[in-house]
Amino acid sequence: MSEPVIKTEKLTKRFGDFIAADALSFDVMPGEIFGFLGANGAGKTTAMRMLCGLSKPTSGEATVAGYDVYRETDLIKKNIGYMSQKFSLYEDLTVVENIRFYAGIYGLTDKAIREKSEALLDQLGMTHEAKKLVSELPLGWKQKLSFSVAVIHQPKVVFLDEPTGGVDPVTRRQFWDLIYDASDKGMTVFVTTHYMDEAEYCNRVSIMVDGRIDALDSPQNLKKQFSVHSMDEVFYQLARGAKRTAD
Amino acid sequence: MSAVRLENITKTYNKGTVSAVSDVSFEVAQGELFGLIGPDGAGKTSIFRMLTTLLLPDGGKASVDGYDVVKDYKTIRSRVGYMPGRFSLYQDLTVEENLAFFATVFGTTIEANYELVKDIYRQIEPFKTRRAGKLSGGMKQKLALCCALIHKPGVLFLDEPTTGVDSVSRKEFWEMLRRLKEQNITILVSTPYMDEATLCDRIALIQSGKILSIDTPAGTVKSFRGNLFTVRSAEIYRLLNDLRDYENTGTCFAFGEHLHLTFAEERAGQEEDLQQYLRQKNHTDIELGRVEPGIEDCFIQFMKQ
Amino acid sequence: MKQLLSFVRKEFHHVFRDRKTLLMLFGLPIVQIILFGFALTNEIKNAKIVVADYSKDFSSRRITDKIEASRYFDVEKNLLSHEEIELAFKEGKIKMAVVFPENFGNDLLHLNKAQIQVIADASDINTATTLTNYVSSIVADYQAQLLVNNSVPYRIMPEVRMLYNPQLKGEHTFIPGMMAMIMMLVCVMMTAISIVREKELGTMEILLVSPFKPMMVIASKLVPYLLISLINITSILLLSYFFLHLPVKGSILLLYAEGLLFILCSLSLGLLISTVSQSQQTAMFGSLMATMLPTLLLSGFMFPIENMPLPLQVISNVVPSKWFNIIVKSIMIKGLGFSAIWKETLIIGGMTVFLLALSYRKFKIRLA
């Protein structure tokens, strides 16, 4: 068994008296699709920021891609990818300009960038659209491009923040094909969402309530444990008791 | 008389180059809870805006409560309640101030129609002196619903009320809509979430400005052609690829932790054949069974046509 | 009516709960005037003046002492001839000269009235005005003292001469220009932004889908900014009086009435901008382009219009601030009445009507 890619031990973040993330302990294995669920205000964003090296934990330990979240945040940033539904692509740049920009951020050489862009366009079947503005693309394509750009530097972990909200069912499945493919190649996929249908696609999911992780298992086992038929009901049973209501 | 009626409504943007709604017709009966279901960019908001007289249709006719959306726009404006998709209230006013303001705008008071919003307002009343910007997503939504209801509208238009709201609040919200329906208010609601479809009386599935189907949720599911199977094995992604290569596969999609599959051609022994094929491909822990299609399966099938 | 009131109340909530913007709205004029005041004081402190006392009697010495005692002036006592004084001005050595004529003492004693010549370099109009104002007030002060000691009313008349710019042409004193700029900023930008904010929030959709008249939405939005602007005029006038020693020579009531008209004009411009912008950024940028730049460059505030190339002079006629600038200068500095400014008033009034009519036409009762 290989080493976990994300490993946290009692990871905690306080803002004054408020405990945003309360002693989180979990491991995520290479190639795993890990769902990170919770209601608004449950602490998902705080936890994810700590793992991405954007926010210093108050106490506890965590490593991402083998690097410490306190001291090695620069190395973490080099080894992770990030995609949120809204902000990943520049609408007023062309497809190929976006690709080059992101490749450039991660310090790829000019030659590597050119090769990468071509390979990527080919793989996405978007060679003819290379010079089109991103704003002209259909939503589904944007999303695929967005994901491909997020993993252009072949990170060990990619964080997806509510990646498929508002997308039609066919496009959504094409998107999950990409995720499965990435995971098949050994990339760890960390998905935060509060939509349960997305959760069912994950290998394992954790559910946060009021800053704590209240459940962590495969969707199948969780459904068995709560004797219900859908993740939605599992979530409902857990989150109903939540005290926090802040966004 | 139908509460809402659309006949061949068409709407384009950018001087006719972008088609948002094309030739849409449907009717909503008095007191019905009608869902408009489709992804972002399907044309839901355009339809809502035409019905609430905020946009003029390029073609076709539409009426609300029997009034024409173009000619009688003033009458319609005083009769409908509307909650736009990006509606987020006045963040710097308190809960109470927001509600009182909208009541006055519609020429009424909170007291006059308190009965109607009572159930919903009670849930946010403890926070009535809090500014709307400091409320959680679910609470904002309840307040917005109160504001849209405060003048006792005959028809209520809710454009994606549950987008960006967590699952617990979504459940509560639909519960509120059910109770409103009992008060004989006609409700048109739009949502990109297929799982909310079953909570409506009737639904229209919409994609790229065109209606795919209009029926009750049960009727929509019944219209699914062929049988739907659920398949899983130890390696789900390899299974997906192998199934897509299989000669008798019609469609195959990931569906939660399972795959949903239809056969290209229904024939005797098809399931055994498939099991055989998968064993050849060295899949283990194979599960194969029939499953009832959901709205999402139907949507995919309609889209593929 | 009740609807309108509740609407106006809501607007006040918006304005008063946004502390930072509120502070900016009220603080801006104060900070501007104080900064300007300091800059001016500095210039005056360093200004050399010459006192040429040909009379050398009791009164002229007392006045000279008073001028010397003031911490503002760097006084040189020197019996310069008129030619020498002019040369000193030309070489930029002095900013002002105070000349007591030979018969000053005699005239004062026997005729009960005398003249002092105050000559200033009016090419730097702000300094010149302040310096001459200062000397005039010192003289007036002394005159009042004489009256207390003697029951005979003595009159000392400072005869002010502005060198190089005798008619104060292209006069660009700071206060009128700044008044115009601040009112433009508050009225145009804040109105435009607050209306566009409702579009962004989505609340405009609800207000449109309500029986409330769209024009009422607009009207009620204007009220708070009208009030804020009136307060700003007051604080500018108070500061300019107490801090810059620049009193309003004409009718204050007339000044407020003209101010109100200019505010209405600015509000209608803000309204027009709001009807054509979809985002707060566009509204802000549009307002800046439509207000700040023309007010700074084309209203005669910073650069005299007479010195501009003809095309710019023509364009400057459509800038409301230009006309308001003239009005304020006439009332505040020259002390003129309505008969002198009715034309400018009419022009601003006409612009207001035009802008209002245009925004009414442009205002959409639908979204697109």
- Pair (B38, B159) in one structural domain: yes
SS3 category, B203? strand
Instruction: Check C206 against B78: CB less than 8 A apart.
Output: no
Please count the residue pairs, one from chain B and one from chain C, whose beta carbons lie less than 8 angstroms apart: 84
Beta bridge partners of C50: C76, C97
Residue A173 has which token pair? 């499945």
Contact residues, chain B, for A197 at CB < 8 Å: 193-195, 256, 296
By mean pLDDT, which of A161-175, C54-68, C154-168 is the weakest? C154-168
pLDDT at position B110 over 80: yes
Q: Are residues B8 and B126 in the same domain?
A: yes
Q: Look at B166 and A200 and tell me if their CB atoms are within 8 Å.
A: no
Taken in order of first residue, the domains within chain C and their CATH numbers are 2-38+171-362 (no CATH), 46-163 (3.40.1710.10)
Q: What is the pLDDT of residue B222?
A: 94
Would you state the pLDDT for residue C253?
94
Which of C206, C279, C364 is best to mutate for the B interface (most B CBs within 10 A)?
C206
Q: What is the pLDDT of residue C165?
A: 56
CATH of the domain at B20: 3.40.50.300
Strands of C40-112, DSSP E: 48-53, 74-77, 96-100
The total domain count for chain B is 2
Checking if the pLDDT of A246 tops 60, the result is no
* Contact (Cβ atoms closer than 8 angstroms) between residue B108 and residue C224: no
Residues B132 and B244 in one domain: no
Would the pLDDT of C170 be above 50?
A: no
Supply the pLDDT for residue B287: 92
Question: Given the structure tokens 């989150």, which residue do they identify?
Answer: A239
**pLDDT of B119:** 87
Same domain, B147 and B164: yes
What's the mean pLDDT when you consider all of chain A?
87
How far is the C-alpha of A117 from the C-alpha of C59, rounded, in Å? 91
Span B197-201, mean pLDDT?
A: 93
Give B-chain residues touching C17 at CB under 8 angstroms. Answer: 92, 131
Name the pLDDT band for C99 (thresholds 50, 70, 90). confident
Residue C164's pLDDT band, with cuts at 50, 70 and 90, is: low
In a domain, A140, yes or no: yes
How far apart, in Å, are the Cα atoms of C186 and each of C199, C224, C225, C353?
20, 11, 7, 20
Does residue B286 contact residue B255 with C-beta atoms inside 8 Å? no
Is A144 among the domain residues?
Answer: yes
Q: Calculate mean pLDDT across residues C151-156.
A: 72
- Round to whole Å and give the CA distance between B198 and C201: 31
Q: Which of B41, B164, B171 is closest, CB to CB, to A236?
A: B171
pLDDT of residue B59: 93
Query: Which among B167, B173, B285 is the top mutation candidate for probing chain A, defined by the most A β-carbons within 10 Å of its own β-carbon?
Result: B167
Same domain, residue pair B100 and B180: yes
Q: Do B138 and B286 sit in the same domain of this protein?
A: no
Same domain membership, residue B189 and residue B88: yes
Interface of C with B in 175-204 (CB under 8 A): 201-203
pLDDT digits (tens, 9 = 90+) for C1-30: 777 888 888 888 888 888 888 888 888 888
Q: Which residues of B touch C3 (CB under 8 A)?
A: 104-105, 107
Cα distance between residue B63 and residue B5, in whole Å: 5
User: What integer pLDDT is reported at residue C166 of this predicted model?
Assistant: 55
The contacts of residue A110 (CB under 8 Å, 6+ apart) are none
Domain boundary among B165, B187, B222: B222
- Which are the contacts of C324, defined by CB distance < 8 A and separation ≥ 6? C176, C179, C180, C258, C262, C299, C344, C348
On whether both B42 and B154 belong to a single domain, the answer is yes
**Assigned domain for A105 exists:** yes
What percentage of residues in chain C have a pLDDT greater than 90? 13
What gap in Å lies between CA A50 and CA A34, rounded to an integer?
16
pLDDT in the model for residue A1: 54
Give the mean model confidence (pLDDT) for residues C180-206.
86
Residue of A34, A139, A168, A175 to mutate for B, most B C-beta atoms under 10 A: A168
Q: Which of B25-34, B200-209, C63-72, C228-237 has the lowest mean pLDDT?
A: C63-72
Residues of A in contact with B238 (CB under 8 A): 184
- Does residue A67 lie in a domain region? no
Write the single-letter amino acid at C228. Answer: I
| Chosen domain end from B168, B200, B222 | B222
Cβ density class B253-276: b for 16+ within 10 Å, e for less: bbbbbbbbbbbeeeeeeeeeebee
Determine, yes or no, domain membership for A115. yes
Contact partners, residue C137, CB within 8 Å, separation at least 6: C245
The reply to whether A112 falls in a domain is: yes
Query: Where is the domain boundary, B169, B199, B222?
Result: B222
Range of the domain at A117: 89-154
Name which of A76-90, B114-128, B273-287, C149-163 the model is least confident about: C149-163
Q: Are residues B217 and B246 in the same domain?
A: no
Nearest CA in chain C to B13: C368
**Residue A165 resides in a domain:** no
Same domain as B161, residue B12:
yes
pTM here is 0.80
Is the Cβ pair B54, C367 closer than 8 Å? yes
C309 Cβ contact list (under 8 Å, min separation 6): none
Cβ neighbours of residue C132 under 8 Å, at least 6 residues apart?
C96, C118, C120, C158, C160, C162
Chain B hits for A167, Cβ within 8 Å: 39-40, 192
CA of A162: which chain B residue's CA is closest?
Answer: B164
Give the CA count within 13 Å in the CB-facing half-sphere of C355.
25
Residue C286 confidence (pLDDT) above 70? yes
Mean pLDDT of B99-110: 89
Written as six digits, the tokens of C36 are 């300007």
Query: Residue A84, SS3?
Result: strand
| Residues of chain B found within 8 Å of residue A239, distances taken between Cβ atoms | 166-168
Is the pLDDT at A247 greater than 70, yes or no?
A: no
Tens digits of residue pLDDT in B130-184: 999 888 878 888 999 999 999 999 999 999 998 878 778 888 899 999 989 988 8
For residue A133, what is the DSSP state? B
Query: Would the pLDDT of B301 be above 50?
Result: yes
- Report the residue from A167, A176, A245 with minimal CB separation from B139: A245
**Is residue B209 located within the same domain as residue B243?**
no
Cα dihedral across residues B242, B244, B249, B253: positive or negative: positive
Q: Which of A201, A235, A246 sits opposite B167 (nearest CB)?
A: A235
Closest by Cα among B249, B237, B244, B239 to B273 = B249
**pLDDT number for residue C172:** 46
CB nearest to B168's CB, from A165, A184, A239 = A239
Is beta strand B4-13 parallel, antiparallel or unpaired with respect to B59-64?
antiparallel
Whether A149 maps to a domain, the answer reads yes
Nearest Cα residue in chain C from B79: C210
Residue percentage of chain C with pLDDT more than 70? 91
Q: How far apart are CA B140 and CA B135, in angstroms?
A: 6
Distance CA A205, CA A190 (A): 10
Instruction: Give the chain B residue nearest A182 (alpha carbons).
Output: B237
In eight-state DSSP terms, residue B199 is: G
Count of domains for chain A: 1
List residues of chain B with CB under 8 Å from any CB of chain C. 13, 49, 52-56, 73-74, 77-78, 80, 82-93, 97, 100-102, 104-107, 131, 147-148
| B193 min Cα distance to partner chain A (Å) | 7
Q: Which of residues 7-66 of A touch B (CB under 8 A)?
A: 39-41
Residues B30 and B47 both lie in one domain = yes
Full residue range of the structural domain in which residue B142 is found:
4-222
| pLDDT for res C42 | 66
